[in-house]
């Protein structure tokens, strides 16, 4: 509890509360954390958290009727950020700059070889999936169509109304940075089939 780390615009808050109302559990928190960095900025993961899944050391702040939980290691890098709603969905505008730019986390870039598909699969396997697996998520390559990579999200990311932030400001940034042939990542997941869209 205590000070306010992030700002949530009224439009974004309304969208998040609408998404939360569609979930099967009550009293859900919005979980927000930084999972890595890229030249475009930080990579984020968002999800709805059941109260029992909020860490004892997490910073919790209230925005209207929405409690937001941020793990302690993400607090300072999120301080001053704004969660907003734009035409493409929810976005995070963060004034903070990553101290150590890399694909995901503080690891050196991979030496990727092979076809575009092979390079994407290796990046997913070795960097992206380990980062989002910590909270039950997984991303798989379905196909490459021109400069677009079609991904399917599973585990904690499937069925989560907030998965777009993880995709756009985390996974897409990592893939576009590492594989220049790709300029866009498209989520082709059937989120209606998601059974556990939460951190675990």
Does one domain contain both 83 and 142?
Answer: no
Q: What is the mean pLDDT of residues 174-198?
A: 71
2 within domain boundaries:
no
Does one domain contain both 15 and 71?
Answer: yes
Write the CATH number for 161.
Answer: 3.30.300.130
Q: Give the span between the Cα atoms of 149 and 147, in whole angstroms.
A: 7
Nearest Cα to 34, choosing from 134, 122, 119? 134
161 within domain boundaries:
yes
Q: Which residue has the tokens 């989560």?
A: 160
What is residue 101's predicted lDDT score, i.e. its pLDDT? 42
Range with the poorest average pLDDT among 73-77, 103-107, 176-180: 103-107
User: What are the pLDDT digits (tens) for 60-72?
Assistant: 999 999 999 999 9
Does one domain contain both 86 and 161?
Answer: no
Q: What is the mean pLDDT of residues 94-118?
A: 70
Tally of domains in the chain: 2
Q: What is the mean pLDDT of residues 92-116?
A: 70
Does one domain contain both 66 and 26?
Answer: yes
What is residue 99's predicted lDDT score, i.e. its pLDDT? 61
Strands 184-187 and 148-155: parallel
Write the CATH number for 13.
Answer: 2.60.300.12
User: What are the pLDDT digits (tens) for 29-56?
Assistant: 999 988 777 656 787 888 899 999 999 9
Confidence of residue 192 (pLDDT cuts 50, 70, 90): low
101 within domain boundaries:
no
3-state secondary structure 77-105: HHCCCEEEEECCEEEEECCCCCCCCCCCC
51 within domain boundaries:
yes
Does one domain contain both 64 and 126?
Answer: no
User: What are the pLDDT digits (tens) for 134-145?
Assistant: 556 678 899 999
100 within domain boundaries:
no
39 within domain boundaries:
yes
Does one domain contain both 127 and 179?
Answer: yes
Does one domain contain both 140 and 69?
Answer: no
Cut 0.75: pTM above it: no
63 within domain boundaries:
yes
Does one domain contain both 21 and 83?
Answer: yes
What is residue 197's predicted lDDT score, i.e. its pLDDT? 39
193 pLDDT more than 50: no
What is residue 151's predicted lDDT score, i.e. its pLDDT? 87
Residue-range definition of the domain harbouring residue 82: 7-93
Of 93, 124, 147, at which residue does a domain stop?
93
Residues 6+ apart with CB under 8 A from 88: 164, 168
Residues in the chain, total: 200
79 within domain boundaries:
yes
């Amino acid at each position: 509890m205590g000070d306010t780390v992030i700002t949530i615009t009224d439009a974004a808050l309304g969208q998040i509360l609408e998404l939360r109302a569609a979930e099967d559990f009550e009293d859900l928190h919005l979980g927000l954390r930084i999972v890595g960095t890229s030249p475009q900025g930080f990579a984020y993961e968002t999800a709805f958290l059941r109260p029992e899944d909020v860490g004892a050391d997490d910073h919790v702040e209230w925005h209207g009727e929405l409690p937001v939980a941020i793990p302690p290691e993400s607090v300072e890098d999120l301080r001053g950020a704004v969660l907003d709603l734009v035409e493409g969905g929810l976005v995070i505008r963060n004034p903070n700059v990553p101290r150590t730019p890399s694909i995901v986390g503080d690891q050196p870039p991979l030496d990727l070889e092979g076809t575009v598909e092979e390079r994407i699969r290796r990046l997913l396997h070795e960097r992206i999936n380990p980062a989002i697996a910590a909270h039950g998520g997984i991303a798989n390559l379905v196909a490459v169509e021109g400069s677009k990579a079609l991904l399917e999200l599973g585990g904690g990311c499937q069925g989560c109304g907030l998965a777009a932030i993880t995709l756009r400001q985390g996974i897409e940034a990592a893939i576009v940075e590492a594989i220049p042939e790709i300029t866009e990542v498209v989520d082709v997941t059937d989120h209606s089939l998601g059974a556990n869209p939460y951190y675990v």
